[in-house]
Structure 1
Amino acid sequence: MEKYPLPFKPATLTLAIASVLLASQPTARVYAESTLSPDDHWSCEASPDESGWQCTAEPMEPGVMNRAMRPVAPAVTKSARKKASSETTTVVTSDSRANLRETLDWVPKSQLSENEQKALDQATPWCTGDYSEPSRPGKNFTGNSDAAPIIAESDESSFGQNDIGTLTGNVSIRQGNRQIQSDTARMNRATNYAEFEGNVVYREPDTLLVGDYADMLLDSGRVTIKNASYAMHGAHARGNSEQIIRNEDSSLVLEDASYTTCRPGDESWLLTGNNVTLDPNTGFGTARNAVIRVEGLPIFYAPYMYFPIDDRRQSGFLYPTIGSESENGIDFTLPYYWNIAPNYDATITPRILSRRGLLLENQFRYMNASGEGEAGIAGLTNKDKLEKENPYYDQERWLANVRYKQRFSERWTAELDYADASDKNYIEDFGTNLNLSSSGPLNQMVGTRYLGGSTYNNWTFSLNAHQFKNMSQTSDDPYNKLPQLVFSGNWQAGETLQVNYLADYTQFSRDKDWRFVKEIQHPDFGDPDIRESVYDEGYGIKRAEGGRAFGQAGVSYPMQTIWGFLTPEVKVRSVNYSLNNLVASEVINDLQGAYGQSVIDPNDFTKSPNTAAASFSLDSGLYFERFTDLFGTDFTHTLEPRAKYLYVPYVENQEFNPIFDTAAMGFTYGSLWLDNRFSGYDRIGDANQLSLGVTSRLIEDDGFERMRFGIGQIVYFQDRKVYIANNLGYEKVPAEDIDENFVAMDERLRNELTDPTSPLASEFIYNFNRTMSVRQDFSWNTNDNRLDNYGLYYRWRPEQRKTLNLGFRFRDQVDRYVQDKDGQNIQIGTDQNGNPIFETADNNVKQTDLSFAWPIPATTHWVGLGRWQYDLTNKRNLESLAGVEYNSCCYQVRFFWRSWIETDDNIDHPDPKSGVFFQFILRGLGNITGSSGTEYLQGIQGYEIHEK
């Protein structure tokens, strides 16, 4: 072919294609890497002697262009390119391009920039490197690449009369943020078609394609590369392919391809397929005749597979999970995600349980401008096939839930949260991916709330109907609230006077048989290990149902300065009941047995009890500060004494009030400043007391609290009279199947009501730094010289993969009864009245808790996991967990052993359980073994489960 050399030296690295395209597009705007004015453009034509081209800068003509062609940059001298490359880019030679097939832009951690290393340590500290595209012209281009000029460079170039241009040596063509390089290239001016041979490299943001041969349509950007390797930096993925087609929309179509998230050179797992598509626009990939191999061994096949390549959602099959359990057998799950619309989606999950049958779980989510919600249903499509130790054999098993939040306006909202199940064991037997607000008990609630008023006079009204589905086999049913109306608010009258108020009406009810009595052998099965829970209607005051109206109003006058505060407050509380389901004789016997006959007058019994009391409190405190230097660090050292006087008169006959949602609260340092020693509204605690306490802090200049210490005590000016007896609701005292010694517990409680002071309570927190802290809480009974509560906790989390937790807690309790294997108290005699005397044992809580997740020394990827909870009182392991976790950039393996005791097990005859759990996760494809016990690892505080 006859060649026409350009009028400048080949070593100047200009483009033959620049003049070719400009000659055919004389009106196209040119953006040159030179001093050409933005208002000018290059005009080129063949020289008269046909020895080359003559180009001149001419003014841009106004008007509409006839063709929307891509502009081409003019010549760039070799010296100018070398200067620019030395300043901003890395020169890419043929040899370096050849090495790209092996590295694919993977850079070892030690060679990354400081910022890149920090980001890697924070996100994936187990990775030994990361993909990092080198600097190049156009890398940071942010405009429209399709409209950007085409810029080409090479060592040598020539152009023939047949519209074919040839570029040789370090060929580079770029447009916007796209770039293709090769050893040689041929371009057709008429068709804008180009072919590239030898060490072909195609780049665009997050995508690298490397091959031996490529062809490209310059108008559309479509590229085909043969014998290729690729990397998708954002997806942390790479692979090989016989042929890769990069479509105009940036999607990739690969023939006979592989896909993995392992670093180059590591093929721990591979997904292979005859035809693979990777679409960064949707965030998903597909593979036909897909095979997943782990260490070269095929472990999974699917004729068609749909998998994510980023975190976006798209319709298709998600990764399957497979596992094995002793009760369910082989457990195989294949979810299908349906992206119905931007604001609607659904997940349909068929699940094969070899010992139970086929289970389907369907979840639908939706969102609109004023609300959002979801609905789900799950269950066996057949009757339960498991016979061994299964009380629900040959029965239908299902679970359903609906959740919805509606915003009618900025102030008015409504909510629905309803879940139900076929039986109490469903979640324990099958688990669920449905989004339940609570798994025990299940919520069944509908309500609405309105926020009214203004900044200085705000109020809230809510109306709810709340029912609970008890999912425990060994606990009482909770009360339902059908309905509950609450009106509350705060009014700031003037600059300092504040008025707060609350009104609450609730109707309490529950099933007739609500109280758990015991477990017995199921009468419908001959297997003694199949148990049935026995419930009854309860006894005495605890059978109460009905309505409760509670009202509270208070006026306070807070006065605050930089050196202290003083807040007087007057408050009135009232509670009224309208009760049913009570038997007068039962209630009298129950209350007299718990509180004593001298306290309970049968004539005071009523189904409409009421209690009202006014209270007065005066809360005050001082702030003292000084600057100090400790261990070379400047601190603000505070001393904050506080005193609060509280008076609440005693209101008698509160024993006749039911106990709907009320309990005595444990005593801590925070208890010093409460107005009521009971939670809920069923008791108004009498008080004539002065709380005294002091807090001291060390605060650094940036606000970090290095240390906080508080200690205080309540001085009582009169004995307390209101309390809740433990021995309520039992006809026979003491009950033979309850291991708690209620009589002794109530005796201690009554003695504490006459103490002149409360326990001495303290809290201490010291933060050695932002990753290590120690906390201590205790309450010391100064009247009986007894430690009531103590807790000591140490936390250290220096890095993401490192956490160490040590804890010890103690609580003094009266002795409990010893039980036999059937759960009956062991009788050792009778008292003078013929009542049984049961064997007792120490019941103090003395427990240690050690947990950790820590990299194994001399390794990069291995992490040791462990937790040990031990009951020092009863000399038993509550939980033991030991395992290891392996993390790499492409997969994760987690293996651990766990032994545990259920919280409702017989203390004297526990039934320890144990299991081995294994989890294998392919990063980028997901978990192929199910959850496999990861919920048990949540007890390791500070440990984070990473599965992406």
Structure 2
Amino acid sequence: MGAIFELTQLARSLQGVLAVLALGGAYVPAAVAQSNDEPGNGSSAVRLQTSPLLQENLPPEAKEQTPTFVSGDQLEGKTDGVTVIEGSAELRRHDTVIRADKLEFDQRTSDAKATGNVLINRNGDRFEGPELQINTQTKEGYFDRPSFSLPRTDGFGDAKRVDFLADDKLLAHEARYSTCPRTPGLSWAPDWLVRASKIELDNVEEVGTATGAVLEFKGVPFLAAPYLSFPLSDKRKSGALPPSLGTDTQSGVQVTTPYYLNLAPNYDATLYPTVMSKRGVDLAGEFRYLQPTYAGQVRAAYMPSDRLRDDDRWAYSVRHAQQLLMEPLGISGPVSFRANLNRVSDSNYWRDFPRTGTSLLSRLLPNDLSLGWSRGPWSASAGAYTWQALQDIDATFTPPYDRLPSVGLAYKKSNETIAGLSGWDWSIQSNFTRFQRSIRARATAEEIKSSGDRALAVAEITRRWQTPGWYIQPKARLHATSYQFDSEIGGRTSANRVLPTFSLDNGLIFERPASFFGRSFIQTLEPRAFFTWTPYRDQSDLPVYDTAARNFNLSSLFTENTLGGNDRITDTRAITLGVNTRLIDPDKGAEIVRLGVAQRYMLEDENVTLPGREPVTERISDMLFGARIQWHPSWSTDLNVQYNPKSRDAVRTTLGGRYNPGPFKTLSVAYRQTKGSSEQVDLGWQWPLSSLGSPDREPVPGRALGPGQWYSVGRINYSVPDKKVVDLVAGFEYDAGCWLGRVVLERLQLSRSTSNQRILFQLEFTGFSRIGASSLQTLQEQVPRYKYLREEIDPPSRFQNYD
């Protein structure tokens, strides 16, 4: 038997008998560190020294050889017998510490019995009570009437009896459990708790299970279950998720009881059966998968016999991405495959189920299958693209053409040498697409007749000369297109078009030191001129498959084609002039202020337009003004104005501001106005109410601004001409430390005359579960820069609670 002794001090009086004894195991020579015994506890025992090796996760064979240390005021016993320690008794073995008024340890069986003010620390988990019996090798035993704390889950509780079944598993009888901390010296009355006849905590599977459980909040039982499981970590596990309860004007009261299936580390599924008081039962689910070469998810929902529509309702959404291995077919380089499929049963689905999922909220649902390949300068693509249009009789729209199929091939080289001059970039892109309208899209007979094929090739060459003070970049492009129509258009079934385009982009960059309002800057002046020339070709008899007008902004002003797409190449012969000036922080390089203005001057009329639009005869376009100011990191302001110099009026104005002075404090305001069309004000915020009129609190890692905090959160979209709120999400959050409460009012405009309203109330018990209607997704989608009040942080080390 090995023994280790170290006496750091002799007995302070003859009344105390000091003893330090190492029982069993082998001697471990190592530099040692003092334990953190609290002073003034009445014990004059020496401070024990333990090797850091004993604090690590040792293999089982090493644990069996770990020595056992005991200490106390009085010690009686003999070798290979029962040792009795009284007065500040303590036993240490590997990762277990036992303290009590009296301790009996049997060296032959490794059984330990402790009585009177017993405390046991196992891997940082602390249990306190009157009596304990445990085997220090097998870690099995029991504890009468203990209270306990589990730092890995911030869990607290007490029980009539706790059985230690193994090193990382225990069973508590007639137990209570909560993540609300205990207050020393007071009876434990947490805001919420689980009361159960049995609670089993398994730290291996990281799951807790309660039998005959009742969940209480503020002393009121409101959820009972014969069997209830809850997580002890963020590790995934199969089981029933908390039910969700909500109400809205469309579907009435809704109760969802989700069930999660952890099928494998890379597969899982969630079932969402929902009962709607006005409609019936909706059966929904989601399946996710992840593999080294592919990943995706499948969502589906089915409601038999919707009572409001007197019909079956269904929806599905599929996302899949995969890297295909094509070497056996002689194709080298990665080949990617993507699928994005979305379909619903009818055109009213988006209105009746506005929160089914982000992929099904739109009235235009994409259904795409595509392949992509690239190697060196070559790239190729092929795909099929269709749409499901959910029409509204009061607001119809024309969906895009389906593309069945669309095939492309491109070759691109950079920094090439041409005619002895290096730095040239050139490319050739080609594409063949079959455009057609489906009857399901409710297309007109003329639109269906206009279906056809389009083949195109675009060659481009450019080079950029640049120095620190100026740059110039010429570009030449040749656009060739060929059409084959299913029916005669303009008396013919085919058409061809070849158009060259030349552009020249150049600018200057000036810098100087400057000072404004007592602050030093580097000020820039950046004039820019963009010239483009495309000759006129009559294209009025060509179909319009994928061409649309570009937004009029600072980016589109410096492009060759004022339309986007390939069916109309505008005969733009113009010069765009613009100038920017910026104020830059010389120390940090941050842009503090940016001001810009640009305007296009037409050299000739622009005759090529979209059907139903007049040619552009105004030689001077509207002016665009842009400004961004971020004088302080906490706030920023953006302004964009489209100004018509002829009418001397602002055609379109966008003004936005953001204020973000600290964590969980954000306020954003936006004003958008389009003359004769719309005018809206958008306000979004998340703000702690306790900071109003009081000093700011420092954030707590993973705990927002700490317990006892109210937060206001929301977003409002207001229509000025209609004088009414279009969309609204607004509510409050309360952080009590061990639980969170949310109440959110949501109003979603579905049409000019109808809207859907619902109230979302949710309780989140920290480290346990959420009860109620989930509003987190709504807040994260709707409120700019919204931050969840609970962020993931690393779990605490067990040595933070080491005795």
| TM-score category (smaller protein) | 0.7 to 0.9
The Cα offsets for residues 171-193 of structure 1, whole Å up to 9 and x where unpaired, read as: 44444554333333211100111
Q: 1:704 to 1:249 in 2, by over 3 A?
A: farther
- TM-score of the pair, normalised by structure 2: 0.84
Question: Which runs of 5 or more structure 2 residues have no equivalent in the other structure?
Answer: 44-48, 184-188, 326-332, 693-707, 792-803
Of 382, 385, 406, the residue aligned with 2:322 is 406
CA contact (8 A) 1:360 1:378 kept: yes
CA contact (8 A) 2:249 2:757 kept: no
CA contact (8 A) 1:441 1:469 kept: yes
Could you tell me how far apart the structure 2 residues matched to 1:140 and 1:631 are?
Answer: 63
Cross-structure match for 2:505: 619
Deviates more, 1:177-186 or 1:399-408: 177-186
Letter in 2 for 1:228: P
Cross-structure match for 1:538: 444
The Cα offsets for residues 344-369 of structure 1, whole Å up to 9 and x where unpaired, read as: 22223333334433332232222222
Letter in 2 for 1:467: T
Cross-structure match for 2:352: 429
Letter in 1 for 2:405: P
Cross-structure match for 2:800: none
Of 437, 444, 457, the residue aligned with 1:510 is 437
The Cα offsets for residues 332-390 of structure 1, whole Å up to 9 and x where unpaired, read as: 2222222222222222333333443333223222222221233343213x422x2xxx3
Cross-structure match for 1:890: 738
The Cα offsets for residues 398-433 of structure 1, whole Å up to 9 and x where unpaired, read as: 223333222125621112222322223345434666
Of 635, 649, 653, the residue aligned with 2:521 is 635
Of 847, 862, 872, the residue aligned with 2:680 is 847
Of 852, 864, 869, the residue aligned with 2:717 is 869
Of 723, 737, 743, the residue aligned with 2:609 is 723
Cross-structure match for 1:244: 162
Letter in 1 for 2:314: W
Of 237, 242, 258, the residue aligned with 1:314 is 237
State the structure with bigger RCO (CA 8 A, min sep 6), 1 or 2.
Answer: 2
The Cα shift of 1:615 comes to: 0.7
Q: 1:689 to 1:350 in 2, by over 3 A?
A: same
Letter in 1 for 2:583: L
| 2:561 is aligned with 1:676 | yes
Alignment of 1:138-153 (within 5 A): 141-144=55-58, 147=62, 149-150=66-67, 152=69
The Cα shift of 1:249 comes to: 4.4
| 2:413 is aligned with 1:491 | yes
Secondary structure of 1:225's counterpart equals: strand
Cross-structure match for 1:65: none
Alignment of 1:747-786 (within 5 A): 750=615, 753-786=616-649
The Cα shift of 1:248 comes to: 3.5
Could you tell me how far apart the structure 2 residues matched to 1:95 and 1:945 are?
Answer: 47
| 2:579 is aligned with 1:694 | yes
Could you tell me how far apart the structure 2 residues matched to 1:136 and 1:757 are?
Answer: 85
Q: 1:284 to 1:671 in 2, by over 3 A?
A: same
CA contact (8 A) 2:297 2:318 kept: yes
| 2:664 is aligned with 1:801 | yes
Alignment of 1:817-856 (within 5 A): 843-856=676-689
Cross-structure match for 2:288: 365
| 2:754 is aligned with 1:918 | no
Could you tell me how far apart the structure 2 residues matched to 1:891 and 1:324 are?
Answer: 23
Q: 1:139 to 1:250 in 2, by over 3 A?
A: farther
Could you tell me how far apart the structure 2 residues matched to 1:6 and 1:552 are?
Answer: 86
| 2:73 is aligned with 1:156 | yes
Q: Which has the larger radius of gyration?
A: 1
Could you tell me how far apart the structure 2 residues matched to 1:624 and 1:570 are?
Answer: 28
Secondary structure of 1:669's counterpart equals: coil
Could you tell me how far apart the structure 1 residues matched to 2:498 and 2:679 are?
Answer: 40
The Cα shift of 1:570 comes to: 0.7
| Identity %, equivalent residues | 26
CA contact (8 A) 1:93 1:170 kept: no
Could you tell me how far apart the structure 1 residues matched to 2:479 and 2:260 are?
Answer: 54
CA contact (8 A) 1:720 1:754 kept: yes
The Cα shift of 1:504 comes to: 2.1
Q: 1:224 to 1:662 in 2, by over 3 A?
A: farther
The Cα offsets for residues 484-505 of structure 1, whole Å up to 9 and x where unpaired, read as: 1122342122340111222222
The Cα offsets for residues 131-178 of structure 1, whole Å up to 9 and x where unpaired, read as: xxxx99969944528636446353324232471112233344444554
CA contact (8 A) 1:150 1:175 kept: yes
Cross-structure match for 1:878: 726
CA contact (8 A) 1:446 1:465 kept: yes
* Structure with the bigger percentage of strand: 2
Deviates more, 1:675-684 or 1:227-236: 227-236
Alignment of 1:206-225 (within 5 A): 207-222=125-140, 224-225=142-143
Could you tell me how far apart the structure 2 residues matched to 1:640 and 1:178 are?
Answer: 70
Secondary structure of 2:657's counterpart equals: strand
Cross-structure match for 1:649: 535
Deviates more, 1:216-225 or 1:927-936: 927-936
CA contact (8 A) 1:371 1:406 kept: yes
Could you tell me how far apart the structure 2 residues matched to 1:14 and 1:490 are?
Answer: 85
Letter in 2 for 1:315: S
Could you tell me how far apart the structure 1 residues matched to 2:317 and 2:748 are?
Answer: 30
Q: 1:158 to 1:296 in 2, by over 3 A?
A: same
| 2:370 is aligned with 1:447 | yes
Q: 1:185 to 1:435 in 2, by over 3 A?
A: farther
Cross-structure match for 2:194: 271
CA contact (8 A) 2:72 2:90 kept: no
Letter in 2 for 1:144: L
Cross-structure match for 2:770: 927
Secondary structure of 1:187's counterpart equals: strand
How many residues align structurally? 738
CA contact (8 A) 2:250 2:756 kept: no
Q: 1:29 to 1:437 in 2, by over 3 A?
A: farther
Could you tell me how far apart the structure 2 residues matched to 1:363 and 1:333 are?
Answer: 14
| 2:345 is aligned with 1:482 | no
CA contact (8 A) 2:90 2:103 kept: no
Secondary structure of 1:310's counterpart equals: coil
Letter in 2 for 1:482: L
Letter in 2 for 1:678: L
Could you tell me how far apart the structure 2 residues matched to 1:569 and 1:550 are?
Answer: 19
Secondary structure of 1:656's counterpart equals: coil
CA contact (8 A) 2:730 2:744 kept: yes
Letter in 1 for 2:464: P
Q: 1:618 to 1:789 in 2, by over 3 A?
A: same
* Structure with the bigger percentage of helix: 1
Cross-structure match for 1:121: none
Cross-structure match for 1:38: none
Deviates more, 1:219-228 or 1:537-546: 537-546
CA contact (8 A) 2:372 2:380 kept: yes
Could you tell me how far apart the structure 1 residues matched to 2:451 and 2:39 are?
Answer: 82
Secondary structure of 2:373's counterpart equals: strand
The Cα shift of 1:607 comes to: 3.7
CA contact (8 A) 1:851 1:866 kept: yes
Q: 1:755 to 1:208 in 2, by over 3 A?
A: farther
Letter in 2 for 1:869: N
Secondary structure of 2:494's counterpart equals: coil
Letter in 2 for 1:709: L
Q: 1:668 to 1:329 in 2, by over 3 A?
A: closer
CA contact (8 A) 1:363 1:434 kept: no
Letter in 2 for 1:501: I
The Cα offsets for residues 797-845 of structure 1, whole Å up to 9 and x where unpaired, read as: 2233221112212212xxxxxxxxxxxxxxxxxxxxxxxxxxxxxx342
Secondary structure of 1:938's counterpart equals: helix
Q: 1:201 to 1:92 in 2, by over 3 A?
A: farther
Cross-structure match for 2:219: 296
Question: Which runs of 5 or more structure 1 residues have no equivalent in the other structure?
Answer: 35-80, 97-134, 516-536, 585-603, 728-745, 813-842
Could you tell me how far apart the structure 1 residues matched to 2:514 and 2:525 are?
Answer: 13
- TM-score of the pair, normalised by structure 1: 0.72
Of 382, 386, 392, the residue aligned with 1:463 is 382
Q: 1:707 to 1:172 in 2, by over 3 A?
A: farther
